[in-house]
Amino acid sequence: QQPVQSPQAVILREGEDAVINCSSSKALYSVHWYRQKHGEAPVFLMILLKGGEQKGHEKISASFNEKKQQSSLYLTASQLSYSGTYFCGTENSGGSNYKLTFGKGTLLTVNP
Amino acid sequence: NAGVMQNPRHLVRRRGQEARLRCSPMKGHSHVYWYRQLPEEGLKFMVYLQKENIIDESGMPKERFSAEFPKEGPSILRIQQVVRGDSAAYFCASSPTPFGETQYFGPGTRLLVL
């Protein structure tokens, strides 16, 4: 089942913050976050495995709620290099783990 | 440590021809995944392979598409008798183990069918 990402697109000025959400109707095994620039490969950002987990660097971090049905990606003090499309990929609990099901993506544009 | 390698990067085929896409996983990775991305859309899972075995091909069309990962050499995604709807970017990813592990993506092969 495809996770739902929101918003579909967001435009920021350099230095502003953004939150991107990824939701599923069922509990997930894991959530993987990627960033893809136009014409390039998706680049891995981070993976969350445990309910209630938070991880990441200073300016890019993510959380996984206790029920393991929602993850949020936090981008603070955005830089021009953050521009791209952000995808969450989810592994389902039970059944076939390993197969990532990706959301439709969130297009982030950071302007000077 | 070289990343995931894919070739060719761009491939142009006429309708009815065959397309052969290659993927060499990262060193030490024995799990390979193929995804397809249509313009302005997310990635769609196609097939998951380990060395010499197809583990899950549930995302791959039953006809014209096949994949292999031989004991020696790269993984190959083969599309026979291509049609215009096959035009897309095809990404390969690899991981050291399959569960809850990071999948590292290659640069992709952009297939254009004329």
Task: Using the predicted structure, report yes or no on whether residue B35 has a pLDDT greater than 80.
Answer: yes
| Mean pLDDT score across all residues of chain A | 90
Q: What is the pLDDT of residue B18?
A: 98
Indicate the helix (H) or strand (E) that contains B31. strand B31-37
Q: What is the pLDDT of residue A57?
A: 76
3-state secondary structure B37-66: ECCCCCEEEEEEEECCEEEECCCCCCCCEE
Task: Using the predicted structure, report yes or no on whether residue B102 has a pLDDT greater than 80.
Answer: yes
The torsion angle over the Cα atoms of residues B26, B66, B35 and B93, rounded to 10 degrees, is -10
Residues with Cβ within 8 Å of A104's Cβ and at least 6 positions away in sequence, in order, are A2, A5, A8, B41, B42
Task: Using the predicted structure, report yes or no on whether residue B70 has a pLDDT greater than 60.
Answer: yes
Q: What is the pLDDT of residue A94?
A: 64
Question: CB–CB of B100 and A47 under 8 A?
Answer: yes
| Residue entry with tokens 């065959």 | B18
Q: What is the pLDDT of residue A99?
A: 81
Q: What does DSSP assign to residue A40?
A: S
Q: Does B96 touch chain A (CB under 8 A)?
A: no
Q: What is the pLDDT of residue B89?
A: 96
What percent of chain A lies above the pLDDT cut of 90? 65
Q: Which of B43, B99, B107 sits opposite A98 (nearest CB)?
A: B99
Q: What is the pLDDT of residue B39?
A: 79
Question: CB–CB of B100 and A91 under 8 A?
Answer: yes
Q: What is the pLDDT of residue B100?
A: 65
Question: CB–CB of B103 and A91 under 8 A?
Answer: no
Q: Are the CB atoms for B24 and B32 separated by under 8 Å?
A: no
Q: Which of A43, A47, A99 sits opposite B45 (nearest CB)?
A: A99
Task: Using the predicted structure, report yes or no on whether residue B1 has a pLDDT greater than 60.
Answer: no
Q: What is the pLDDT of residues B92-101, one digit of tens each?
A: 999 988 766 7
Q: Are the CB atoms for B43 and A42 separated by under 8 Å?
A: yes
Q: What average pLDDT does this structure show over B49-69?
A: 93
Q: Which of B56, B105, B107 sits opposite A99 (nearest CB)?
A: B56
Q: Which is higher by pLDDT, B88 or A99?
A: B88
Q: What is the pLDDT of residues A77-112, one digit of tens each?
A: 999 999 999 999 998 876 566 788 999 999 999 999
Q: What is the pLDDT of residue A33?
A: 95
Minimum mean pLDDT range among A41-55, A93-107, B39-53, B60-74:
A93-107
Half-sphere exposure of B67 (CA within 13 A, CB side): 28
| Mean pLDDT score across all residues of chain B | 92
